[in-house]
Homo-oligomer: A and B are copies of this chain.
Amino acid sequence: MSRSYKDKKVITIGVISELTGLSERQIRYYEERKLIFPERSNGGTRKYSFDDVERLMEIANKMEEGMQTFEIRKQEKQKMKKEQLRDEMIRGQLNAAFKMRK
């Protein structure tokens, strides 16, 4: 419920550019490098979410620090893997606890 807004892809690239301070060129390029994943309207115009705004801000910071796009992408992957592992562990422990009760 509270995520419904942050995740909804409804914002146009011009507005995203204003919100993030990045050029449209940069934003499209980060998509090409698989750092960001906008949806498309029927006509083909890109649509972003507030979550994407936040992600772009992080990307911008890392770029300023001299990081390269592929490094950022790798870092993201690592983070996702860790989160997945953590979730699996939690699920596993819940499962074990559940079995013990019967």
A residues at B contact (CB < 8 Å): 2, 5-6, 8, 10-12, 14-15, 19, 41, 47, 50
| CB < 8 Å neighbour of A12 from B5, B8, B12, B19 | B12
Residues in B whose Cβ lies below 8 Å from that of A5 = 5-6, 50
- Cβ of B14 and Cβ of A11 under 8 Å apart? no
Nearest Cβ on chain B to A18's Cβ, whole angstroms: 9
Residues in B whose Cβ lies below 8 Å from that of A41 = 14-15
Residues in B whose Cβ lies below 8 Å from that of A50 = 5, 8
CA distance A19 to B41 in the complex (A): 13
- Cβ of B19 and Cβ of A10 under 8 Å apart? yes
